[in-house]
Amino acid sequence: MKTKSAWTRKDLLDLESLTREELELVLATADSFKEVIGRTVKKVPTLRGKTIVNLFYEPSTRTRISFEVAAKRLSADVINIATEASSVRKGETLIDTGRNIEALKVDIVVVRHNCSGAAAILARHLRASVINAGDGWHEHPTQALLDMFTLKEKLGRLEGIRVSIVGDIAHSRVARSNIWGLTKMGAAVTVCAPPLLVPPAIERTGVRVTHSIDEALAGADAINVLRMQFERDTGDAFPQQLEYFKTYGITRERLEKAKKDILVMHPGPINRGIEMASDVADGPNSVILEQVTNGIAVRMAVLFLVAQANEYIHNKSEPKK
Amino acid sequence: MKEKAKILDAEALGRTLKRMAHEIIEHNKGTQDLVIVGVRTRGAHLAQRLAGLIAEISGAAPPVGILDITLYRDDLSSIAQQPVVHKTEINFDIEDKKVVLVDDVLYTGRTVRAALDEIIDFGRPQFIQLAVLVDRGHRELPIRADYVGKNIPTSTKETVEVRLAESEGIDEVVVLEKA
């Protein structure tokens, strides 16, 4: 019971570098925050006086709002910067933008960027904590954490469960973070995609690869369906939308052959009729909206843990009774 | 830390809690609208025991809630030393109730301040009273207890440790001193 808090990181940049104990700590902390967001007064004073900046170089609605709600439930002040309307358009570099934000005495920067590694670069240059809200094709750690939280809440454990991730694995930071996180927790992960959308040597991360959707569904405890990011298509890798739905789309007929209580997940936004049929998205197996709620609890936990670690690193103050 | 003195053994601790239970009933003229809320971890155990004793004496068991005050503390950096944030469990309406807040040791008063803020976020009780097993002095806030198990004058170099069967496997209160 009197174990020391295992979280000593100033930033959350990826799940690849986290230990299993750290993942467990985030999930346990998020569980306590889920109680907070169920109260009548859904707010605690923990981060009062702290300022959090959401710095988004890519459009995002749900992740940004989720971080904003999480920060407000912790009583922090939130500033949103969408780069289309900022001096980034005038040619300011990422590091300069970061330093300027820090000069405003900001405590945590939540960053989304289209370049892999952007959050890590920012973290190296700032004293403030940096949370990666998605960097290029690299990682989206809080999305994977909320997926894992939802799985654990529904299935009672992560060890030994079977999760299939379906969709554009090659371009998906959500897939990558989920693979790192889930395999560390002892889950068996299968990825399923058209051959050109599976990155080479992905098996080395410990996942099974299949190109058949029925194989991905068979025996799985949960299926995490990714959005087809047609806006990222740089060549000929992407199939036609209708063809993708025919070959890989999750339909009720396909689901009937899977486990009866298989969990259907999606990080959103859903392309109905492309990666998933409408009656599946709204069906009894879907936990998609619960994922959104859990996202707040998980992000509160992450904000809390990095703020606490940062304060500790910079003050090294003696604990008081 | 070396053990300097044993203040209460199991038997004395049991008697003390029984007396406190009687005082709570007497002071509130019964158990009408009474609820007991303990501060994690040992305050929660003590709250359970007090509620059990009150039930034995009066025949009515008051509801028991558990408060985790981590998120209401005023020292973010030193909670880095703390274990995982646990849940607050108050599964009843505290509106218009008589709340008895329970903790093991009353020291600076900061924990109680945090606990008061948290309780008030759950609703507006009739009043809140404070019950502590040990009051060791050195208050940093204008807070006092309504029910005290034992007053133990201490120096700031000392620590009072309450050990309970539920968490430590033994019932006792000891004073420790920095070696």
In this complex, the residue of B75, B86, B88 whose CB is nearest that of residue A320 is B75
CA distances from B108 to A109, A185, B100, B103, B115 (A): 34, 41, 19, 13, 13
**Model confidence at A262: pLDDT above 70:** yes
Q: Is A304 on the interface with B (CB under 8 A)?
A: yes
Q: Where are the domains of chain B?
A: 2-26+34-75+86-177
- In angstroms, the Cα distances linking A210 to A38, A194, A198, B76, B155 are 40, 9, 9, 47, 68
The three-state secondary structure class of A77 is strand
Sign of the dihedral through C-alpha B67, B106, B22, B174? positive
- Contact between B61 and B51 under an 8 Å Cβ cutoff? The reply is yes
**Angle, CA of B119, B125 and B127, to the nearest 5°:** 100
CB contact, 8 Å: A36 with chain B?
yes
Rounded distance, CA A47 to CA B85, Å? Answer: 14
- What is the pLDDT of chain A when averaged over all its residues? 92
Residue A20 to residue A309: CA distance in whole angstroms:
18
CATH 3.40.50.1370 segments of chain A: 20-139+295-315, 141-292
Looking at B28-151, list the stretches that DSSP marks H as alpha helix, in order from N- to C-terminal side.
Answer: 42-58, 110-121
Nearest CA in chain B to A4: B83
What is the C-alpha to C-alpha distance for residues A240 and B47, in angstroms, rounded to an integer?
64
CATH code given to domain B2-26+34-75+86-177: 3.40.50.2020
User: Is the bond leading into A269 cis (omega within 30 degrees of zero)?
Assistant: yes
Taking 70 as the threshold, does the pLDDT of residue A188 lie above it? yes
pLDDT band, residue A320 (cuts 50/70/90): very low
Q: What's the CA gap between B87 and B66, in Å, rounded?
A: 8
**Whole-angstrom distance, CA of residue B146 vs CA of residue A152:** 43
**Is the minimum CB–CB distance between B91 and chain A shorter than 8 Å?**
no
- Contact indicator for B38, B103 with CB cutoff of 8 Å: yes
Q: Are A135 and A112 in contact (CB under 8 A)?
A: yes
Q: Are A208 and A188 in contact (CB under 8 A)?
A: yes
Which residue matches tokens 């486990």?
A259
Q: If you count DSSP H runs as helices and E runs as strands, how many of each does chain A have, helices first?
A: 11, 9
Predicted pLDDT of residue A84: 74
pLDDT at A240: 82
Superfamily of domain A141-292: Aspartate/ornithine carbamoyltransferase (3.40.50.1370)
Establish if A103 touches chain B: CB-CB under 8 angstroms. Answer: no
Residue A1: pLDDT band (50, 70, 90) is very low
User: What's the token pair of residue A283?
Assistant: 């069906």
Chain B interface includes A3 (CB < 8 A): yes
From the list A4, A90, A204, A320, the catalytic residue is: A90
Nearest to A131 by CA among A106, A110, A114, A105: A110
- pLDDT (0 to 100) of residue A3: 45
Q: What six digits make up the tokens of B4?
A: 């300097």
pLDDT band with cut points at 50, 70 and 90 for residue B79 = low
| CATH class of the region A20-139+295-315 | alpha beta
Quick one: angle between helices B42-58 and B10-27, nearest 10?
Answer: 60
ipTM, interface predicted TM-score of the complex: 0.84
> Would you call A277 helix, strand, or coil by DSSP?
coil
Average pLDDT, chain B: 94
User: Are A321 and B107 an interchain contact pair (Cβ–Cβ within 8 Å)?
Assistant: yes
Best CA proximity match to A284, nearest among A311, A255, A308, A306: A255
The DSSP letter of residue A165 is: E
3-state secondary structure of A294: helix
Residue with tokens 């940004």: A64
Higher pLDDT, B105 or A235: B105
Long-range contacts of A195-204 (CB under 8 A, 24+ apart): A196/A170, A196/A236, A196/A237, A197/A167, A197/A168, A197/A169, A197/A170, A197/A171, A197/A237, A197/A238, A198/A169, A198/A170, A199/A169, A199/A170, A202/A169
Residue A108 parent element (H or E): strand A108-113
Residues A5, B82: C-beta atoms closer than 8 Å: yes
Which among B77, B116, B119 is the top mutation candidate for probing chain A, defined by the most A β-carbons within 10 Å of its own β-carbon? B77
Whether A140 is a known active-site residue: answer yes
Q: How many Cβ atoms from other residues are within 10 Å of residue A196's Cβ?
A: 12
> Looking at the predicted structure, is the pLDDT value of residue A317 above 70?
no
Chain A residues whose CB is inside 8 A of the B71 CB are 36, 44-46, 74, 304
3-state class (DSSP) for residue B8? strand
What is the Cα–Cα distance from A161 to A153, expressed in whole angstroms? 13
**Choosing among B76, B78, B113, which should be mutated to test the A contact, i.e. which has the most A CBs within 10 A?**
B76
For residue A5, what pLDDT is reported?
54
Confirm or reject contact between A25 and chain B (CB < 8 A).
yes
Facing residues of A50 across strands?
Answer: none
Mean pLDDT lowest for which of A42-46, A226-230, B66-70, B80-84? Answer: B80-84
